[in-house]
Amino acid sequence: MKLVKSADKLTKLLLNLRKGDNLVTIGFVPTMGALHEGHLSLLKNSKSENSITVCSIFVNPTQFGEKKDLETYPKPIEKDIEKLLSVGCDILFLPEVQEVYPESYKQQYFDLLGLDLKIEGKQRPGHFQGVCNVIYRFFEIIEPDKAYFGQKDFQQTVVVKRLVELTKSKTEICVVPIAREENGLAMSSRNQRLSNEHRFQASFIREALLKIKEHAKEIGLQKAIEQARKELSTIKHAELEYLLAADTRSLQEVNHLDGEVVVLTVVKFHGVRLLDNILLKP
Ligand code: AMP
């Protein structure tokens, strides 16, 4: 695996590897490090579909609201490198902030049609504009044929698809299913902040989503969600931030199973913010 820190060097290296050959394809997996099986499943997808796989590890400052969250983000780089080697990643892009955002770069405002202001966007103002700026820059540097994102951050996948449309990018966005712990908890770098016992107990989030999927067909989506909200409110040390159903494209909140729907939730459990979602097809 090649380790590259300079944006210019990476662009040149990839140009060289492509050598104008259309059969050479580049798959790209953007991450913030502290890698787990979820990230590795994105990388495995990229490996199986492309000639070259590039992974970036970059804790993007522009997508963090709170400085403390940014400063305390885990950076186990040696362990991450071992994991990348285990899945055969070809190139690790590990830039400093000034490589991604040189002085000449002005943060852009992207017209995301309000997709950035809903749901997570309400809780984290500016977050998705920050995500779009970093993805825009990475696509400029790497020009990947395909880029891989996890369904775990569902709204992010919708926002990035809009960015691709808006900027007329040629990169195809590939969405990879959520990797889960044995008990169903969605894998996340944040899970490390839970004790083993609490991690085990946190399976209630997945269970609530599965129950909504099952019940929605019998009692209707709205009732199924209301029931789940009630049940979640009785769980100790769990604070429900949101639980709602939305259209998978517009992210408009819905009450009925019309078209493709995603049920999205964030639960703070013992102070750790846990995201999950489930797709419901009509
Ligand atoms: P992060 O390092 O948290 O920015 O995540 C990098 C990428 O990994 C994003 O596209 C996430 O959606 C994806 N990802 C994180 N957790 C999971 C998971 N449990 N399953 C699948 N993809 C994930």
Closest protein CA for atom 7 of ligand 1 = 31
Q: Is the Cβ atom of 146 under 6 angstroms away from ligand 1?
A: no
Burial of 98 (0-12, 13-18, 19+ CB in 10 A): exposed
Helix, strand, coil shares of the chain, percent, nearest 5, are 45, 20, 35
**What band does 66 get if pLDDT is binned at 50, 70 and 90?**
confident
Q: Is the Cβ atom of 38 under 6 angstroms away from ligand 1?
A: yes
Residues facing residue 263 across a β-bridge: 245, 278
Tokens coding 85: 């080697």
Closest CA to 134 of 31, 50, 225: 31
pTM, two decimal places: 0.97
pLDDT cut 90: percent of the chain above it:
94
pLDDT at 282 over 80: no
Cα–ligand 1 centroid distance for 90 (angstroms): 19
Beta strands in the chain (DSSP E): 2-4, 26-31, 52-57, 91-93, 146-150, 172-176, 238-247, 261-269, 272-280
Task: Choose the residue to mutate in 87, 153, 262, 264 for probing ligand 1, maximizing ligand atoms within 8 Å of C-beta.
Answer: 153
Tokens coding 25: 């394809």
Could you give phi then psi for residue 55, rounded to 5 degrees? Answer: -115, 135
pLDDT in tens, 124-151: 999 999 999 999 999 999 999 999 999 9
Cα–ligand 1 centroid distance for 150 (angstroms): 5
Q: Is the Cβ atom of 275 under 6 angstroms away from ligand 1?
A: no
pLDDT in tens, 25-55: 999 999 999 999 999 999 999 999 999 999 9
Q: Please report the pLDDT score of residue 20 as a whole number.
A: 81
pLDDT in tens, 247-267: 999 999 999 998 999 999 999
